[in-house]
Structures are given as structure tokens and as C-alpha cells.
Amino acid sequence: MDARFLPAGDTALVVEFGDVVDSVLSEHVLQLSDRIRGAALSGVIETVPTFRSLMVHYDPLVTCGARLVDDIRKVVGTAKPSPQRRRLWRLPACYAPSYAPDLAEVAERTGLRAADVVERHAQTEFHVYMIGFLPGYPYMGDLPTELHLPRRADPRTRVPAGSVAIAGAMTAVYPIESPGGWHLIGATPVRLFDPQWERPSLLAPGDAVRFEPITPEQYEAIRADVAANLYTAPSAEMRE
């Protein structure tokens, strides 16, 4: 396995695959995470995928970093690579001006019409690289190059939950209200995080996401159903 093993204190190990954000590296990270969980290695508590590395949390009273490195190498050496089934989510999103406070500015800065920005964003199938920053917050790529912009120079102190945002080569959805410096180009009424769910985060690393444009009326109707716990997120398609 072409990777570096780095200690992260005495209760975690980082397996690093590279130094770029790349879907191929992401797949290596996700496959290793699947294999480690499937092997039920002694002492392993949790695996946390990131853009280019996997953090493996372990119980130091059961195993140690050096032993875990050996165990991981054995798992990789004996397991046969196989295509993993991934989920494709289709999330409704409203790109109307009242839900997209930065859309006009993004269009101006990219030299596109607002409708062109929406079209390019909605036609892209995004790869979920990792969940981070906030509970359930998905870092998704890869945004079309013509939409690449640096983060805002003046971050907001309050970004509404459900805001669909872009920055650099990424897009994301804010699962809860929080500060944020990305460009807000739309909003989804779907709840992405709920601590009462068996899996609190709707999305997971390795998932794919497409945004399906909806009207403000449709947005408000879905949001009302979500608030009343009457709405179920669109079932994800399983893909190889």
C-alpha cells in the first residue's frame, strides 16, 4: 500500500495517501475505511475519512500504533479489492434570489448569467469527500472550474441552515445555522443532520449528490413537511 502511517497522539493513527484533493485518492481512503471496519481489527474504535487520509481511532489499552500498522498492512495485503456500492442522493434546491444572496455576485465575478451558474451547479454530480467543520457538513467536489472563486472576504456571522454554498473547487450545504465564508447560491429544505437519527448525518463520505432545482413554493412546502417530521429525504440510488 502506497501510504504513510503517522501517529496522532497515543489513541489515533493517520494513514495518508497523498497531498492533493482527488477523487482517486478519496476512493483509496474510503476502501481502506471499509476494509478496516469489515476486518473488525482489535482495538479499533472508529475510522474517519478525510480528503486524502484516514484517521483510525483506537483503544490504547487494547492495541498500539505499531501493532495497528501491522494489522492494517495485513488487511490490505489479504483483501481483494472490489467495487464499493455508493449512494446517489438527489436533493431539492431553490436557487431563487431570496434563497441565494450571493448568486448575482457569483455570476458577475465569473462572467456568467445567474441562470448559467445554476445550470452548471445543478448539472454536476458531486462527490462527498468528507464530513467536517460542522456535524453533517459535506465537503463536495468537484465544482466546474468556471465557478471557482475564493472564499468571501467578509464571512457572515450567521448562515441559515440548508444554505447551498461554493468556494474554491467545492460545494457544501450548511446543516445548521453557523458562521461561514462561502458564497451562498441556493438552499435546500432537506435536513442533513439530526442527532435523533440512527445515522445522524444524512450524507457520508463516498456518496454522490445532485441538486434538483425547485421553486420557492416547493421549497416552503417541503420545509413545512420537514418541520412537522412528515418529509422523508429522497431515497438514495445504490451504485457500483
Q: What is the CATH number of domain 86-239?
A: 2.40.100.10
pLDDT digits (tens, 9 = 90+) for 27-77: 999 999 999 999 999 999 999 999 999 999 999 999 999 999 999 999 887
The answer to whether residue 232 scores a pLDDT higher than 90 is: no
For residue 2, what pLDDT band results from cuts at 50, 70 and 90?
confident
For residue 141, what pLDDT band results from cuts at 50, 70 and 90?
very high
Q: What is the pLDDT of residue 237?
A: 76
Q: What is the pLDDT of residue 238?
A: 74
Mean pLDDT of the chain: 93
Mean pLDDT of 148-162: 97
SS3 82: coil
Residues 6+ apart with CB under 8 A from 136: 175, 176, 192, 193, 200, 201, 202, 203
For residue 116, what pLDDT band results from cuts at 50, 70 and 90?
very high
Kindly report the number of other CB atoms within 10 A of residue 50's CB atom: 19
Cell 441559515 locates to: 160
Q: Domain 4-78: which topology?
A: Gyrase A; domain 2 (3.30.1360)
Indicate the burial class of 210 (C-beta count within 10 angstroms; 0-12, 13-18, 19 or more). middle
Residues 6+ apart with CB under 8 A from 69: 5, 13
Kindly report the number of other CB atoms within 10 A of residue 200's CB atom: 14
For residue 222, what pLDDT band results from cuts at 50, 70 and 90?
very high
For residue 83, what pLDDT band results from cuts at 50, 70 and 90?
low
Question: What angle, rounded to 10 degrees, do the helices at 114-122 and 103-110 form?
Answer: 100
With the C-alpha atoms ordered 59, 81, 209, 235, is the resulting torsion angle positive or negative? negative
- Helix, strand, coil percentages in the chain from 3-state DSSP, rounded to 5: 30, 30, 40
With the C-alpha atoms ordered 118, 123, 129, 132, is the resulting torsion angle positive or negative? positive
Closest CA to 118 of 90, 140, 142, 97: 97
Q: What is the pLDDT of residue 80?
A: 53
Radius of gyration of the chain (CA): 19
- For the chain, the domains span 4-78, 86-239
Residue 114: its H or E element? helix 114-122
pLDDT digits (tens, 9 = 90+) for 161-215: 999 999 999 999 999 999 999 999 999 999 999 999 999 999 999 999 999 999 9
Q: What is the pLDDT of residue 84?
A: 63
Contact (Cβ atoms closer than 8 angstroms) between residue 85 and residue 240: yes
Q: What is the pLDDT of residue 233?
A: 75
Q: What is the largest CA-CA distance in the chain?
A: 59
Grid coordinates in use for 131? Answer: 464530513
